[in-house]
Amino acid sequence: MRITMIGSGYVGLVSGACFADFGHDVTCVDLNEQKISALKNGQIPIFEPGLEALVSENAKAGRLTFTTDLAPAVASAEVVFIGVGTPSRRGDGHADLSYVYAAAADIARAVTGFTVVVTKSTVPVGTGDEVERIIRETNPSADVVVVSNPEFLREGAAIEDFKKPDRIVIGLEDERAREVMSDVYRPLYLNQAPLMFTGRRTAELIKYAGNAFLAMKITFINEMADLCERTGANVQDVARGIGLDGRIGSKFLNAGPGYGGSCFPKDTLALVKTGQDYDAPLRLVEATVEVNDRRKRAMGRKIITAMGGNVRGKTIGILGLTFKPNTDDMRDAPSIAIVQALQDAGAKIRAFDPEGIEMAKQVINNIEYADDAYGVANGADGLVLVTEWSAFRGLDLKRLRAAMNGDTFVDLRNVYRQKEAEAAGFSYTSIGRPTGADQSVGTIAAE
């Protein structure tokens, strides 16, 4: 099929490359000339494992092309996806839909023949209705069907998620789109990926509801971690104990410094605002947003306490800056609030991240960057593990300690155990685990 993807950011580029890999002819459109020029030269603007090779292979095969010229790309397409950004709007937290609506108007002016227009961007309930209205108003003669097809991609595992999805949600109001969208995703039938057809508004809400639920799971286990610290329980065993219940599941139950990234923060906030607009307040989601924001700041205080209550003039090493491993995304990363809290208390910061340093430089000021974890530790008074990159899971703790002036190690991802850290000479602090007790995860006795 001939597919055009409006927007060549994270969602648009990953989706476009994967569709091309399925055998479709895909054109990615973006108004940013510098980005398109870079993509034509094989330069990928984001870090996502496997994406560079996927784009290169399909571009060489002629199935994936890039352009800034929207009109011909839309005119020749059978399906046009809208994959532009929907950031939180300043002032009220609503999703900023200006890019979506601008794309809808541009599509309306360029479309020829029967075309399915698909919102791939994360958008609030009712956005498809407005996209349809804009297209009808701009071009009354347009033969267009508007569909919602939200993405469910995890940064760091996006290609795997796209090709082996848990589900494919397609929201439509016109049955003519059903066959077209089935053809778009036909290559996934071999993987038996469930194709779920719903109403358009339902599909829009599924995306937000899913992200909000996962954000609540993260926030719940973080609050349990605080309780564990005060009662002497082990949050990892608690998480395992409840996660073995099939009704709960084990995923998203890793205690840490709070969630961040491009989805959970803005989507939970947008869902809260939607609930308010429809006079259906979402109290659990509201609490999740508030608790998560507080937690990030609290991590800074936790580090200061671990270092004796005063960090003025001290050098603190930060291991990991991105909101999660295997991405360079710094949007709403916990490290931002943590570094700010430490700097406000007078600390000097030195950091390393395997992929996120260039992005970090755009949002964090006045910190020194090292070339690796051992460079971070050199002369530091304290060390903080913020992001659980694989590169930080097997560090030589004795070598780290020998390079430092101080002995504080704060592990915000529970990567290490207290016994091994103390054996290397550290004063060790983790999340939700009792001090001095065996911090290994409990085992299940054989029956």
Q: What's the pLDDT tens digit per position in 59-101?
A: 999 999 999 999 999 999 999 999 999 998 887 888 999 999 9
Cβ atoms of 31 and 100 within 8 Å: the answer is no
Mean pLDDT, all residues of the chain: 95
**Numbers of helices and strands, H then E, in the chain:** 17, 14
Which one-letter amino acid corresponds to residue 233? A
Catalytically annotated residues:
263
Mean pLDDT of 347-355: 98
Whether the predicted pLDDT of 312 surpasses 50: yes
Cβ atoms of 412 and 256 within 8 Å: the answer is yes
Distance of alpha carbon 347 from the chain centroid: 29
Query: Alpha-carbon torsion 64, 166, 211, 171, what sign?
Result: positive
Q: What's the pLDDT tens digit per position in 3-13?
A: 999 999 999 99
Distance from C-alpha of 308 to C-alpha of 98, rounded to nearest angstrom: 49
- Count Cα atoms within 13 angstroms, Cβ side, for 334: 28
Minimal CA–CA distance to 86: which of 101, 100, 103, 104? 100
Whether the predicted pLDDT of 440 surpasses 70: no
Contacts of 297 (CB under 8 A, 6+ apart): 337, 341
At 442 the pLDDT is 47
Whether the predicted pLDDT of 42 surpasses 80: yes
At 439 the pLDDT is 55
Domains and CATH numbers, the chain: 2-198 (3.40.50.720), 210-429 (3.40.50.720)
Mean pLDDT of 197-224: 97
Q: What's the pLDDT tens digit per position in 154-177?
A: 999 999 999 999 999 999 999 999
pTM: predicted TM-score of the whole model, two decimal places: 0.92
- State percent of the chain over pLDDT 90: 93
Of the two residues 194 and 53, the one the predictor is more confident about is 53
Q: Collect contacts of 211-215 with beta carbons under 8 A, ≥24 apart.
A: 211/122, 211/263, 211/264, 211/267, 211/268, 211/271, 212/267, 212/268, 212/271, 212/282, 212/285, 212/288, 214/252, 214/264, 215/259, 215/264, 215/267, 215/268, 215/285, 215/288, 215/292
pLDDT classification of 445: cutoffs 50, 70, 90:
very low
